[in-house]
Chain A
Amino acid sequence: MGKVYTGFGYWDVGAWILFFAVAAFYILWLRSQGRSDYKKGTAQDEIYWSGNEVPEDGADLTVPASSAYWGFRKALEPFYKGLLGMHTGLPADVVGYYVLTVAVLAVFVLLV
């Protein structure tokens, strides 16, 4: 294993693995302290879903991926409007951005 020296400090994977081992041991110990005398098949055994009845199909109670980080996207709406607008998917745009980038680079490299 050993240490990785970055020139600014070092990284010791062994220390981290030791940390994870200790954390895993603690978590397993904590879990083992839980009560094992609950009654199966009663309300004690059911999923608690904010006091509501749990739907039969999992699809009804999950947040879909397209809604994840909704607030993040809403807060950055102008940024995403521009970024998504740039990705038209049109072949002419795909080639166009490439040609434009190379042309701009060429101008700057010749000027510098």
Chain B
Amino acid sequence: MKRRLLLLVPLLIFAVLVVFLYRGLSHDPSARDSAKLADRFPAFDLATLDDPDRRLDRSLLEGGDDSEGEVTLVNVWGEWCPVCKKEMPQLQTLADRGVHLVGVDYKDTRDKGNEFLETYGDPFAVSLFDPKGSLGFDLGVYGAPESFIVDGDGVIRYHHTGYITPDDVEQVILPEMAKWR
């Protein structure tokens, strides 16, 4: 009898899979609360994508002692990520609307990252190069693309998992940016 039950295992696994596939069909991508909300942006020390000798750290996002920094949208992307290519026009729109964007080229090679920006446009004020994914790990990203809104004090205020759709630009990102200004 026990052995017979064991034979049911493939069927059960398949049933669970079907439930997921069904939900996937009807599902709309939506944002999710992040564990990192209201935390300080993690410390990092990374070179920029275009210049291996220029290293940046957390002060990039926090401003100086007497002045507040800008509200920034940090976008984690990679050349290997097809969804990121689709996201670039939205990021460009945001940049055109005056949003300060910082890119994190996640688990990529320098050549491919630079080539990606050449091909799809570069909306970023600066791009950090994170080949080992250490900053991505500290940020708790699952993959790419993911975006974080960081306020003038360097505190994460909003986490957008996945692709920013054209609708998200007006309905989610810009209002969120305004909220923390």
Question: Are A and B genuine complex partners?
Answer: no
Residues of B that sit less than 8 Å from A by CB:
none
